[in-house]
Amino acid sequence: MNKVIERSMIVPNMHLLEIESPQIASKVKPGQFVIVRGTDEGERVPLSIADYDAEKGTISIVFMEVGASTSVLARLKAGDEVATCVGPLGNATSIENFGNVMLVGGCYGIGSLYPLAKELKAKGNKITMVLEARSSYLIYWLKRYIPLSEKIITITRDGSMGQKGHVSRLPDVIHNMPERPDRIFVNGCTYLMAHTSEVTKDLGIPVVVNLNPIMIDGTGMCGVCRVTVGGQMKFACVDGPEFMGHDIDWKEFLARRKAYMTEETIFFRRSDAPAHNEGKCAWHE
């Protein structure tokens, strides 16, 4: 069970993990996630699914190495096993022909948008990809997105690829498009999703984000993933993970996301893994 088929670093600190799990592979739909535990002592980490192959019976995850638990995953080799891989959890994205859609991805989100892009394309949507990173060497999977999209826009902090800046350029980008997107999907670290939601607030375009809060069970039991959406308490694991970005209380969500940063760092320092970056998102600190 849960045999590792492949684990490779696709760009610095960003890993692809392919796990054998025929049950999940035959069920999963875009927008869903799994909970993975590297070892028997490990913590339960929710991770978005970046690809799946029902015939081969495998699922793939793209994740960034940020702390103790992901550093365990980042050292897996083909043939190893992970203690837990459970899912598919959360609700699938509701996909229809929206017309023009824009997919904004950063960090692991560049990977987790891939199943969504394929499905949106199959439903006849015209896709504009926006990939955001600190620098050109952190952009990946362009080859996968070229056949799926009308246009790929890259935004890098240092200007080494595409437009210089970050996701706050989005209103400009949209303004210069021949056709406005009818819907925007954002996947990536919390900062990226919060920021995209903020800068698009006045555009009148629905923005769908895929939240990544701390979770334990992922089935509605613990309630640690709660988030305020439109003034109401929601559980990201069973009510989400997708919500309308403009309705989310991002300040609260960011605070909850960071709840254990100190403790994670303490554990990380005690473990064998090399310390780096203290649990923060390397791209959007």
Q: For binding to other proteins (CB under 8 A), which residues are involved?
A: 23-24, 27, 37, 41-44, 68-69, 83-89, 216-224, 226-228, 233, 235, 238, 249, 251-252, 255-256, 259-260, 263-264, 266-267, 270
Q: Is-contact 191 107, C-beta < 8 A? A: no
- Beta carbon nearer to other proteins, 132 or 264: 264
Residue 147 has, within 13 A of its CA and on its CB side, a CA count of 5
**Burial tier of 190 (Cβ tally within 10 Å: 0-12, 13-18, 19+):** buried
- Beta carbon nearer to other proteins, 70 or 128: 70
- Beta carbon nearer to other proteins, 179 or 252: 252
C-alpha to C-alpha distance for 77 and 213, rounded to whole angstroms = 27
CA proximity to 50, closest of 2, 95, 10: 10
- Beta carbon nearer to other proteins, 233 or 244: 233
- Beta carbon nearer to other proteins, 169 or 280: 280
C-alpha to C-alpha distance for 238 and 216, rounded to whole angstroms = 13
Q: What are the start-end ranges of the H helices in 89-138?
A: 109-112, 114-122
- Beta carbon nearer to other proteins, 123 or 276: 276
Cβ at position 40, least distance to other proteins in Å? 8
ω into 241 cis (within 30 of 0) = yes
Cβ at position 65, least distance to other proteins in Å? 15
Cβ at position 35, least distance to other proteins in Å? 8
Q: Is-contact 42 85, C-beta < 8 A? A: no
Backbone angles phi, psi at 74, to 5 degrees: -70, -10
Cβ at position 182, least distance to other proteins in Å? 29
Cβ at position 90, least distance to other proteins in Å? 9
C-alpha to C-alpha distance for 199 and 202, rounded to whole angstroms = 8
Cβ at position 265, least distance to other proteins in Å? 9
